Amino acid sequence: MGPTQKPNVCRQLSRRALGFFSRDAGVVQRTNLGILRVLVCQESTKFKNVWTTHSKSPIAYERGRIYFDNYRCCVSSVASEPRKLYEMPKCSKSEKIEDALLWECPVGEILPNSSDYKSSLIALTAHNWLFRISATTGKVLEKIYLASYCKFRYLSWDTPQEVIAVKSAQNKGSVLARQAGIQQPVLLYLAVFHVLPFSLIGILEINKKIFGNVTDATLSHGILIVMYSSGLVRLYSFQAITEQFMQQKLDLGCACRWGGTAGTVGEAPFGIPCNIKITDTPPLLFEVSSLENAFQIGGHPWHYIITPNKKKQKGVFHICALKDNSLAKNGIQEMECCSLESDWIYFHPDASGRIIHVGPNQVKVLKLNEVENNSAQHQISEDFVILANREKNKNENLPTVTASGRVVKKNFNLLDDDPEQETYSHEVYFDRDLVLHIEQKPSRVFSCYVYQMVCDPGEEETTNRSCEKE
């Protein structure tokens, strides 16, 4: 067979405009990604730094929007030069936004207001308010007062774009209480909501009497995940807990009497009472021990990834079947590398069942499939590998000359990653023709670098000249 012909981008764009792929949205998406891949991978394509900014507060990025000053200022990154979308009024430190999630309109649902069909930012403030803010104007569309009995600090998706979990800071008690040996019964709270329109599922308390010395807890896809300092991870059904231990159903905006106090649910100063209090150990779905509580579930059928709970096993990953804890064939994954930072692994977020294993100088894409002639067992196989093409330090192999003129050659192990980058925290986003790089430097200075895809002008000029000659 001859060489594979590269797809013609102009022809694909013309076919798309004429509706050749309109019957299947998946085909359109794959065609768009194919066009983008051709443009990105051609040798003449470069990414040019078009914008750089620095900030003393964290910088966040979500879907073409860059957020500064604790989400108070929003800048669009879609244009070649970022453009300010909005800037909310200045506020006190007690009113700043602590965490936020981007909500996008669901497909095929009828919503109560026309503004609901546009993207919103769900934001948690330092004084326990939950806001829904227009992602394009910064206008507050909805607001809920959570509570005064704890400090809520973190936002996460339980079910992406449908259910959110608001987690409180851990209640460690005062210094005097700890010195006196007074134990805090409630370790943390989880407030759970359906989004748009906001509706309360409930607020759950994680208490020491039932769960013991918990170090952290979270919700994911209807599963309550509880973690311990020993590395133990336990899973419970949040729905079963809600059905068994909810004391009273609460509705936002409705009058309520609770503990001798009356008020409106979700409005200050009453807020939302904790209405899910576990009084007995709930049924355990699953438990496993893993180093640093590292635990993931994914794949088809369900598998999980852990690191054996021993320090010397760091960087070793076991991929096991959820139904019987059996290790998949080739299920022990370990990357041979010498680096300051350990490698990491995760199930691909596209729900394809693929597994991404990332090291300092390579990315392995693995796939989970059935063992031939044995459908009951699954195996891990390598799909493809991406290798980093790092430039070698020109001075790394130079000999040293002593004062007496003697030449000394140094023997040392080269690291696979870059030691100069180790004190930094990095985030890199690839969005169509843009690459964004956000870093935090040791002095708590945050920087954002925006790179735009361009065709190398030198090669473009050469191409034009060759066309003129023809």
DSSP 8-class letter at 183: P
Give Cα separations from 461 to 40, 42, 465, 467 (angstroms).
19, 16, 6, 10
Helix (H) or strand (E) holding 36: helix 25-41
- Among 70-74, 321-325, 416-420, 438-442, the range scoring the smallest mean pLDDT is 416-420
CA gap 129, 142 in Å, rounded: 10
Q: Look up residue 81 and give its DSSP letter.
A: S
Confidence of residue 29 (pLDDT cuts 50, 70, 90): confident
| Sign of the torsion angle spanned by Cα atoms 12, 18, 20, 21 | positive
Looking at every residue in the chain, the average pLDDT score rounds to 84
Split at pLDDT 50, 70, 90, the class of 44 is: confident
**What's the pLDDT at 75?**
93
Q: What is the pLDDT of residue 365?
A: 95
Q: What percent of the chain has pLDDT over 70?
A: 81
pLDDT of residue 135 exceeding 80, the answer is yes
Element holding 123 (H helix, E strand): strand 120-125
Rounded Cα distance between 266 and 199, Å, is 10
pLDDT confidence of 163, banded at 50, 70, 90?
Answer: very high
DSSP conformation class of 198 = T
pTM of the model: 0.82
250 phi and psi angles, rounded to 5 deg: -120, 140
| Per-residue DSSP letter, 246 | B
Choose from 154-163, 338-347, 415-424 the range with maximum mean pLDDT: 154-163
Which residues make beta-bridge pairs with 206?
Answer: 188
50-99 pLDDT tens trace? 889 999 999 999 988 999 999 999 998 876 677 899 999 999 998 999 99
Beta bridge partners of 342: none
Structure tokens belonging to residue 98: 């602590």
Cis peptide preceding 269, ω within 30 of 0 = yes
Q: Is the pLDDT score of 125 beyond 60? A: yes
Contact 270, 255 (CB under 8 A): no
Dihedral of the alpha carbons of 262, 265, 270, 275, in degrees to the nearest 10: 90
Do 54 and 61 touch, CB atoms closer than 8 A? Answer: no
Q: What is the 3-state secondary structure (H, E, C) of the chain?
A: CCCCCCCCHHHHHHHHHCCCCCCCHHHHHHHHHHHHHHHHHCCCEEEEEEEEEEECCCCEEECCEEEECCCCEEEECCCCCCEEEEECCCCCHHHCEEEEEEECCCCCCCCCCHHHHCCEEEEEECCCEEEEEECCCCCEEEEEECCCCCCEEEEEEEECCCEEEEEECCCCCCHHHHHCCCCCCEEEEEEEEECCCCEEEEEEEEEHHHHCCEEEEEEECCEEEEEECCCEEEEEEHHHHHHHHECCCCCCCCEEEECCEEEECCCCCCCCCCCECCCCCCCEEEEEECHHHCEEEECCCCEEEECCCCHHHCCEEEEEECCCCCEEEEEEEECCCCCCCCCEEEECCCCCCCEEEECCCEEEEEEEEEECCEEEEEEEEEEEEEECCCCCCCCCCCCEECCCCCEECCCCCCCCCCHHHCCCEEEEEEECCEEEEEEECCCCCEEEEEEEEEECHHHHHHHHHHHHHC
Is pLDDT at 405 greater than 70 in this prediction? no
More confident residue, 374 or 337: 374
Residue 319: which of 382, 387, 238 has the closest Cα? 382
- Note the pLDDT of residue 465: 40
Condensed to tens digits (0 to 9), the pLDDT of residues 436-470 reads 999 998 888 999 999 988 876 555 444 334 333 33
* Residue 284: exposure state from Cβ atoms within 10 A (0-12, 13-18, ≥19): exposed
Alpha helices in 158-275 (DSSP H): 175-179, 208-211, 238-245
pLDDT of residue 18: 62
In contact, 27 and 21? CB cutoff 8 Å: yes
Q: Does position 214 have pLDDT exceeding 70, yes or no?
A: yes
Please say whether the beta carbons of 359 and 366 come within 8 A: no
CB atoms within 10 A of CB 40: 14
